[in-house]
Amino acid sequence: MKRLLMLSSALLLAACANRPPSDHVALPPAPPRGEPHATAGMSADALKAAYGVPAFTRVDGEAQLWRYDGAACRAFFFLYPEDGALSVRHVETVPRHADEAADPACLKALRKAPAPVS
């Protein structure tokens, strides 16, 4: 009887182990590769000069995320250390087209107007 109880418990545990958790949510697909030409490798200082002060920043170890918010979109700049300074390694916008990570129209709309020449 004890062996039968152990066998049925083992079978029950094995059945539960193969079932995905009920709160399991699949991750969305990664955005397409490729970076906007104008922002790839941009230094942190150049990014601030072009887009201003970010609406939100997050520091994860040596990497940083800078978010810029506009009326119709948001841009996320991922900066990583390179030669002792932070530089842009990836950019994403929301919304974006299915075939690109960053919408050029969004990035253009978020850029600061150039300072007037005096």
Per domain, the residue ranges of the chain are: 40-112
* Main-chain dihedrals φ then ψ at residue 65, nearest 5 degrees: -115, 130
Average pLDDT over residues 81-105: 90
| The predicted structure's pLDDT at residue 29 | 67
Of the ranges 46-55, 75-84, 91-100, which one carries the lowest mean pLDDT score?
Answer: 91-100
pLDDT at 98: 80
Give the ranges where the chain is alpha helix by DSSP (H): 2-17, 44-51, 104-110
Confidence label for 74 from pLDDT (cuts 50, 70 and 90):
very high
Distant-in-sequence, close-in-space partners of 111: CB < 8 Å, separation ≥ 6: 50, 51
